[in-house]
């Protein structure tokens, strides 16, 4: 394992704070914003993805084995998101999210769900969240170990609390930290170890 880790840490691996409205790729036929506008390191590509309208931690690497570990559902790598939703989920809704909801005929894996008492302090989004005076919003911390298409949005919608904003703050032991949208940094050796030796 140490030889494999040593070999992998020589290849470029980056943490990017992906901005809202940016695709998790380097080219787009429709000329929408892509990673090419933010990443100058050659030969890296996104390991996994964030939707166009999601923000936060995106890992980029030149290492195919690392990318496989990050995206293979068998590894059940935890991913942590802060999620703004419409209304305040009640105990029943929170339990449903924790135990699994049915999305397109498939039940999601158990998830760690926490209703935050105070909203987190984040940067403003370039496209403001829709505001309805009669509908309050709240924030959840959601940790999931799978990556179904638009999973979080479908999970919260299934329990009656549509998602307004998603920010990924961690993948395994890798944390977004204080990176601002569009900023990136290299992953450290200690951080890399958390991806191969547990958390």
pLDDT of res. 94: 98
Higher pLDDT, 8 or 123: 123
User: What is the number of residues in the chain?
Assistant: 199
Residue 133 near residue 119 (C-beta atoms within 8 A): no
CATH (residue range 78-170): 3.30.70.1560
CATH architecture assignment, domain 2-73+177-196: 2-Layer Sandwich (3.30)
What mean pLDDT is reported for the chain? 90
Residue 103 near residue 197 (C-beta atoms within 8 A): no
What are 27-54's pLDDT values in tens digits? 999 999 999 999 999 999 999 889 999 9
Q: Do domains 2-73+177-196 and 78-170 have the same CATH topology?
A: yes
Domain ranges, ordered by start, for the chain? 2-73+177-196, 78-170
Higher pLDDT, 188 or 57: 57
* pTM to 2 decimal places: 0.91
**Choosing from 43, 51, 95, 124, which is the catalytic residue?**
51
> Is it the case that residue 70 has pLDDT exceeding 90?
no
For residue 22, with 0-12 CB atoms within 10 Å meaning exposed, 13-18 middle and 19 or more buried, which class applies?
Answer: buried
> Is it the case that residue 194 has pLDDT exceeding 80?
no
CA distances from 51 to 6, 19, 57, 110 (A): 32, 10, 12, 22
Active site residue 43: no
Q: Shortest CA distance to 35 belongs to which of 45, 149, 123? A: 45
Q: How many CA atoms lie within 13 A of 17 on its CB side?
A: 15
């Amino acid at each position: 394992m140490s030889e494999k880790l040593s070999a992998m840490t020589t290849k470029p691996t980056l943490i990017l704070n992906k901005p809202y409205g940016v695709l998790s790729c380097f080219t787009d036929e429709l000329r929408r914003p892509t990673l090419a506008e933010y990443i100058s390191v050659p030969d890296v590509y996104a390991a996994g993805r964030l939707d166009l309208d999601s923000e936060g931690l995106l890992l980029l690497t030149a290492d195919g084995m690392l990318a496989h570990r990050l995206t293979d559902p068998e590894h059940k790598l935890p991913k942590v998101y802060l999620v703004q939703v419409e209304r305040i989920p009640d105990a029943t809704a929170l339990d449903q999210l924790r135990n699994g909801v049915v999305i397109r005929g498939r039940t999601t894996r158990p998830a760690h769900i926490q209703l935050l008492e105070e909203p987190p302090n984040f940067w403003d989004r370039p496209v403001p969240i829709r505001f309805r005076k009669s509908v309050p919003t709240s924030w959840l911390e959601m940790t999931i170990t799978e990556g179904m298409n638009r999973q979080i949005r479908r999970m919260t919608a299934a329990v009656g609390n549509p998602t307004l904003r998603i920010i990924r703050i961690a993948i395994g032991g890798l944390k977004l930290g204080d990176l601002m949208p569009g900023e990136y940094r290299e992953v450290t050796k200690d951080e890399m170890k958390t991806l191969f030796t547990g958390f």
